[in-house]
Amino acid sequence: MMRLMLLGPPGAGKGTQAKLLQQRFDIPQISTGDMLRTAVKAGTPLGQQAKAIMDAGELVSDDVIIALVKERLAEPDCVKGFLLDGFPRTIAQADALLAHTDIDEVIEIQLANEVIVARMSGRRVHTSSGRVYHTEHNPPKQEGLDDISGEPLIQRLDDAPETVSYRLEVYHKQTAPLIAYFESPHSEASHWPQYVTVDGSGEVMQVHESICSQLT
């Protein structure tokens, strides 16, 4: 049984590490965004409720999100464990999650803001194929052009330095209380997750091995 939760700012490499952990431990990666899309597409009662809320331009409530998570964790592929990515986002969500299931490890990938801004603002994308380049770490053969098609590469709005800086500000503001919540074991809890921190600035497999070496 390996019940994991992943924390980290945008651009810290959570998605890459989530896939590696999923493969290594043969557990599903669970994100609230994926769950919402699946439930809406399937037309489940919770999916219909979420769709009505989103269609009205409102945020899906904690009650609906938590109900979706509980529903997802009850599926057969979670019997050996799971990896939560992007949930919980608030202390209220964390309380509800831990009242429903145990979490064994909370993994926080740490990376300095300036490194994240440089990492994300250097990304360039070929929109029709999804191929991703980086101006420093993986540049195209010809500046600004896709290697295969020769078509122009773009910088996504989400990767613009000012957008990345804003997203980081929001992340740290929203997540700081959650980090403090998990870092300090609660004496009244019969089971409390181990809190693992890892430096996200290394090579992908270095970061992965650093995570795995700390898991119990």
Active site residue 89: yes
19, 51, 131, 167: the active-site residue: 167
* Three-state SS at 127: coil
Reported as half-sphere exposure (CB side, CA atoms, 13 A), residue 197 has a value of 8
Residue of 19, 70, 89, 131 marked catalytic: 89
Positive/negative CA dihedral, 66, 60, 168, 207 = positive
The answer to whether the bond into 193 is cis (omega within 30° of 0) is: no
Q: What's the rounded Cα separation, in Å, for the pair 48 and 26?
A: 30
Q: Which residues pair with 4 in a beta bridge?
A: 83, 105
Of 99, 78, 94, 75, residue with least CA distance to 28: 78
Q: How far apart are CA 196 and CA 67, in angstroms?
A: 27
Of 84, 74, 75, which is closest to residue 4 (Cα–Cα)? 84
Q: Angle of helix 113-121 relative to helix 161-183, nearest 10 degrees?
A: 140
Token pair of 58, please?
């409102």
* Coil vs helix vs strand at 182: helix
Q: Which of 14, 72, 119, 124 is catalytic?
A: 14
Nearest Cα residue to 68 out of 97, 111, 91 = 97
Catalytic residue at 123?
Answer: yes
Residues forming the active site: 14, 89, 123, 156, 167
